[in-house]
Amino acid sequence: MKEGPDIALLGSLIGDPARANILTALMSGKALTATELALEAGVTVQTASSHLKKLQDAHLLRQRKQGRHRYFTLADDDVGSVLEAMMGLAAKRGLLRTRTGPRDEALRKARVCYNHLAGDLGVAIYDGMVSQGYLAEADDDVSLTRDGEDFAEAFGIDLASLVKSRRPMCKSCLDWSSRRTHLAGSLGSALLNRFYKLGWAARVEGSRVVEFSASGERSLLAKFAIKAPAS
């Protein structure tokens, strides 16, 4: 390809196993040091630093300095969405890692996708908001309706601050485990933070898993008109 976006370069950056592990680790939304990312990638700190520079040069990562430490995060929502979509494609094609464990079911139920909720509950929230007329879909675009604005504000979301941010309010994100849409964008992030603040859910330490309490899950199902899963 002689002209246009260089998808070959992007593919080579993401496709390297060590860099893929680094990027996947940052899907948790947490800022991690080069040392922590080296452990995730299974490489030395020196090698990890080389990988991190390449990812930064391509604007896939951001670096933050705090005291003597440097922390790395994904550059923005777009990077997280691409990674989630690639995970979905890999799962659909049967390109799965052989290691499985007890967290697999929990990851599929509810997990962090960079800064918003993914998994079965994330998809169910999106479907519930569409069915109640809070979200409007037009091809690949999704927007908050007037009823949706009333719903969000009543739920404690400060829409005025979201409008002022540079991020899109609503974005559709392909869920890798269910291969259906969940809600990203500033609203998706605000909803997840609201779940935390209400005490409905909490992050599992050292994992992307989001664990809802029994009462929190009941409240979520009721608020977003989600059908309880069959027992």
Q: What percent of the chain has pLDDT over 70?
A: 94
pLDDT greater than 90 at residue 90: no
Span 176-199, average pLDDT = 93
The first and second tokens of residue 148, run together, are 């949706």
Domain boundary among 22, 57, 75: 75
**In this structure, is residue 95 part of a structural domain?**
no
**In this structure, is residue 22 part of a structural domain?**
yes
What is residue 227's DSSP assignment? Answer: P
Q: What percent of the chain has pLDDT over 90?
A: 63
Answer for the pair 192, 115: CB distance below 8 angstroms, yes or no.
yes
Asked whether residue 200 falls in the same domain as residue 162, the answer is: yes
**What's the whole-model pTM score?**
0.74
Domain boundary among 75, 90, 121: 75
Span 31-55, average pLDDT = 94
Closest CA to 224 of 113, 75, 120, 143: 120
pLDDT in tens, 197-208: 999 999 998 888
Model pLDDT, residue 102: 45
Answer for the pair 45, 25: CB distance below 8 angstroms, yes or no.
no
Model pLDDT, residue 211: 96
Q: Which residues contact 196 (CB under 8 A, 6 or more apart)?
A: 202, 203
Asked whether residue 145 falls in the same domain as residue 109, the answer is: yes
Model pLDDT, residue 93: 80
Span 173-198, average pLDDT = 92
Asked whether residue 163 falls in the same domain as residue 107, the answer is: yes
Closest CA to 76 of 50, 93, 58, 89: 58
Measured CA to CA, the distance from residue 178 to residue 147 in angstroms comes to 27
Model pLDDT, residue 1: 52
Burial annotation 206-222 (CB, 10 A radius, 16+ → b, else e): eebbbebeeebbebbbe
Answer for the pair 22, 58: CB distance below 8 angstroms, yes or no.
no
Asked whether residue 160 falls in the same domain as residue 57, the answer is: no
Answer for the pair 175, 84: CB distance below 8 angstroms, yes or no.
yes
pLDDT greater than 70 at residue 99: no
Question: What average pLDDT does the chain have?
Answer: 89
Identify the sign of the CA torsion 184, 114, 58, 25.
negative
Confidence of residue 156 (pLDDT cuts 50, 70, 90): very high
Closest CA to 182 of 129, 105, 103, 144: 129
**In this structure, is residue 90 part of a structural domain?**
no
pLDDT in tens, 44-88: 999 999 999 999 999 999 998 887 888 999 998 889 888 888 887
Asked whether residue 70 falls in the same domain as residue 127, the answer is: no
pLDDT greater than 70 at residue 98: no
Asked whether residue 69 falls in the same domain as residue 140, the answer is: no
**In this structure, is residue 128 part of a structural domain?**
yes
Asked whether residue 175 falls in the same domain as residue 115, the answer is: yes
Asked whether residue 219 falls in the same domain as residue 136, the answer is: yes
Asked whether residue 115 falls in the same domain as residue 219, the answer is: yes
Containing structural domain, residue 219? 103-223
pLDDT greater than 90 at residue 109: yes
More reliable by pLDDT, 30 or 147:
147
Asked whether residue 69 falls in the same domain as residue 125, the answer is: no
Model pLDDT, residue 89: 81
More reliable by pLDDT, 103 or 163:
163
Structurally, the chain folds into a number of domains equal to 2
More reliable by pLDDT, 68 or 133:
133
Residue 139 backbone class (left: φ over 0; alpha: ψ -120 to 50; beta: rest):
left
> What CATH number does residue 32 fall under?
1.10.10.10
Residue 58 dihedral angles phi and psi, to the nearest 5°: -90, 5
H or E stretch covering 134: none
Angle 155-107-11 (CA atoms, 0-180°, nearest 5)?
105
What is residue 184's DSSP assignment? Answer: E
Model pLDDT, residue 228: 67
Model pLDDT, residue 97: 64
Neighbour count for residue 176 (Cβ, 10 Å)? 23
